[in-house]
């Protein structure tokens, strides 16, 4: 009988991911204008500080993964929750823009210990052979973070300042996330010493790891860039293509499509290799962009684009946790997921700036075709993985010679 993550732990972890992503990421855009006025800076400066914090924070993902392997992901997440709460307090009390920016950087640095990468590691450490299914369940629950925190933050902002809201976020991370993560720490064990074998997702083949790792990281990096370039300016892009006010309606379809992709995969994707799921996920954005550009300004084409982009983004979240597990197994999983997160976040952090420069110099249509071409390069990297994995396993089988 396969070992599974207890239901209470899965639901609790889903709740902490909603709070984590909601407070650390999604609430920021709602509060940015108020922050800018209070700090005496422009909106551009505030978003620039946030982007820098995301870029710097991405460098902390690999060491956070190694620490999760060594000490257990649950312990790391508990400590991280307390640290995130502290950074919210520091940001709320910041007297000026410099201290505010430093608090944001600290927040994103410690956020690496409480979000998807470490949460996936916790599932692998506690969930045994059922880790893949539990990861899908978690992404399905956490997919509602934006759906809940955008309106919640907007409502709080009607009677609270951004500083007061940050204090409330500190309380949420400390009073809710910390005890849940501490309880989870009793279930998670370090994976740095887990043995690796040759046959199952939990025990991937040791042959050809360098090529598989390079392909996976390249695919994640390129896909992360393409998704970020589009999603950072989704509404302005659709409006610039002639959709006008309908562009906002199109953008609202992205979130439901993202959640739907995880539900569809949960129901129909149980037997699908994660390497091929990565191919499907990477293909959806270029396909959606092609439909959008070929049919613009037709509203139906824009709807299909939003659905493809949402489905692709949702599947990408799943693959980010399950593909390293399928390719390399449980041993050192935290380190693997840390490097995968780093590969995605660094290009994703610079993509909005690159997209803005491209829009200014070439216009919206050429810029989107460039992003589609970039997405195809990422797709090519993922397409090679299933074949490289098969050759790797064949070499592993050929190297085995039974003794008599």
Q: Domain with 54 in it: what CATH number?
A: 1.20.1250.20
Q: Is there a single domain that holds both residue 164 and residue 72? A: yes
Residues 205 and 393 sit within 8 Å (Cβ to Cβ): yes
Lowest mean pLDDT among 32-41, 177-186, 225-234, 336-345: 225-234
Distances in Å between the Cα of 383 and the Cα atoms of 88, 218, 277, 316, 339 are 42, 12, 10, 14, 20
Per the domain annotation, does 404 fall within a domain?
Answer: no
Q: Is there a single domain that holds both residue 326 and residue 384? A: yes
Q: Is there a single domain that holds both residue 168 and residue 89? A: yes
Distances in Å between the Cα of 190 and the Cα atoms of 71, 105, 157, 206, 321 are 6, 28, 41, 20, 17
Q: Is there a single domain that holds both residue 232 and residue 139? A: no
Question: Of the candidates 184, 201, 219, which is a domain's last residue?
Answer: 184
Contacts of 234 (CB under 8 A, 6+ apart): 251, 254, 306, 309
Q: Is there a single domain that holds both residue 258 and residue 371? A: yes
pLDDT at site 128: 63
Across residues 334-357, what is the average pLDDT?
A: 85
Structural domain boundaries enclosing 131: 7-184
Q: What is the 3-state secondary structure (H, E, C) of 187-200?
A: CCCCCCCCCCCCCC
Q: Is there a single domain that holds both residue 223 and residue 138? A: no
Count H helices, E strands: the chain? 19, 0
Question: Of the candidates 184, 218, 251, which is a domain's last residue?
Answer: 184
Distances in Å between the Cα of 167 and the Cα atoms of 40, 240, 346 are 21, 38, 29
Per the domain annotation, does 194 fall within a domain?
Answer: no
pLDDT at site 367: 92
Per the domain annotation, does 11 fall within a domain?
Answer: yes
Across residues 230-255, what is the average pLDDT?
A: 77
The pLDDT tens digits of the residues spanning 160-212 come to 999 999 999 999 999 999 999 999 888 866 655 544 443 344 444 444 578 88
pLDDT at site 183: 92
Contacts of 278 (CB under 8 A, 6+ apart): 219, 319, 323, 382, 385
Which of 125-139, 240-254, 377-391: highest mean pLDDT? 377-391
The answer, yes or no, to whether residue 130 has pLDDT greater than 80, is no
pLDDT at site 192: 56
pLDDT at site 385: 92
Per the domain annotation, does 156 fall within a domain?
Answer: yes
- Band the pLDDT of 114: cuts 50, 70, 90: very high
Across residues 67-83, what is the average pLDDT?
A: 92
Q: What is the pTM of this model?
A: 0.79
Question: 253-284 burial string, b = 16+ CB within 10 Å, else e?
Answer: bbbebbbbbbeebeeebeeebbbebbbbbbbb
The answer, yes or no, to whether residue 8 has pLDDT greater than 50, is yes
Q: Is there a single domain that holds both residue 179 and residue 273? A: no
Distance CA 84, CA 88 (A): 6
pLDDT at site 249: 74
Across residues 62-77, what is the average pLDDT?
A: 90
pLDDT at site 204: 45
Per the domain annotation, does 298 fall within a domain?
Answer: yes
Q: Over the chain, what is the mean pLDDT?
A: 85
* Domain total in the chain: 2
pLDDT at site 293: 92
Across residues 119-126, what is the average pLDDT?
A: 87
Per the domain annotation, does 335 fall within a domain?
Answer: yes
The angle that helices 73-92 and 162-172 make with each other, rounded to 10 degrees, is: 160
Q: Is there a single domain that holds both residue 173 and residue 236? A: no
Q: Is there a single domain that holds both residue 285 and residue 148? A: no
Residue 30 gets the label, from left (phi > 0), alpha (psi -120 to 50) or beta, of: alpha
Per the domain annotation, does 1 fall within a domain?
Answer: no
Question: Of the candidates 184, 217, 249, which is a domain's last residue?
Answer: 184
The pLDDT tens digits of the residues spanning 272-309 come to 888 999 999 999 999 999 999 999 888 888 899 989 99
pLDDT at site 208: 52
Q: Is there a single domain that holds both residue 246 and residue 386? A: yes
Across residues 34-60, what is the average pLDDT?
A: 89
Kindly state the percentage of the chain with pLDDT values over 70: 89
Q: Is there a single domain that holds both residue 142 and residue 264? A: no
Per the domain annotation, does 200 fall within a domain?
Answer: no
Residues 84 and 173 sit within 8 Å (Cβ to Cβ): yes
Q: Is there a single domain that holds both residue 162 and residue 221? A: no
Structure tokens at 369: 């075709």
Across residues 10-18, what is the average pLDDT?
A: 93
């Amino acid at each position: 009988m396969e070992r599974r993550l207890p239901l209470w732990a899965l639901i609790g972890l889903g709740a902490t991911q909603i709070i984590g992503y909601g407070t650390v990421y999604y609430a920021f855009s709602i509060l940015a204008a108020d922050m800018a006025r209070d700090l005496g800076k422009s909106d551009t400066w505030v978003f620039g500080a946030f982007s820098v914090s995301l870029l710097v924070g991405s460098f902390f993902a690999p060491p956070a993964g190694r620490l999760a392997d060594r000490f257990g992901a649950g312990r790391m997440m508990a400590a991280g929750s307390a640290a995130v709460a502290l950074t919210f307090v520091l940001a709320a009390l910041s007297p000026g823009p410099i201290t505010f920016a430093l608090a944001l950087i600290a927040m994103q640095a410690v956020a690496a210990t409480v979000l998807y990468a470490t949460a996936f590691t916790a599932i692998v450490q506690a969930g045994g052979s059922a880790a893949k299914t539990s990861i899908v369940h978690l992404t399905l629950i956490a997919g509602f973070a934006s759906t809940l925190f955008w309106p919640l933050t907007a409502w709080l902002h009607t009677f609270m300042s951004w500083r007061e809201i940050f204090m409330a976020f500190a309380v949420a991370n400390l009073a809710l996330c910390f005890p849940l993560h501490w309880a989870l720490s009793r279930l998670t064990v370090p994976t740095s010493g887990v043995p690796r074998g040759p046959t199952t997702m939990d025990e991937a083949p040791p042959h050809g790891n360098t090529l598989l790792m390079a392909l996976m990281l390249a695919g994640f990096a390129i896909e992360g860039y393409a998704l970020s370039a589009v999603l950072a300016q989704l509404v302005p892009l659709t409006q610039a293509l002639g959709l006008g006010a309908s562009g906002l309606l199109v953008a609202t379809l992205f979130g439901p499509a993202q959640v739907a992709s995880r539900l569809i995969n949960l129901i129909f994707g149980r037997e699908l290799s994660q390497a091929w799921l990565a191919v499907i996920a990477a293909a959806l954005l270029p396909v959606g962009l092609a439909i959008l550009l070929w049919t613009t300004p037709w509203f139906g084409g824009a709807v299909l684009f939003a659905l493809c982009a949402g489905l692709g983004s949702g599947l990408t979240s799943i693959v980010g946790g399950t593909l390293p597990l399928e390719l390399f197994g449980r041993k050192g999983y935290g380190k693997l997921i840390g490097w995968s997160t780093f590969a995605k976040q660094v290009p994703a952090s610079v993509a909005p700036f690159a997209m803005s420069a491209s829009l200014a110099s070439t216009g919206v249509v050429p810029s989107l075709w460039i992003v589609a071409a970039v997405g195809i390069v990422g797709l090519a990297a993922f397409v090679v993985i299933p074949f490289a994995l098969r050759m790797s396993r064949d070499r592993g089988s050929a190297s085995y010679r039974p003794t008599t």
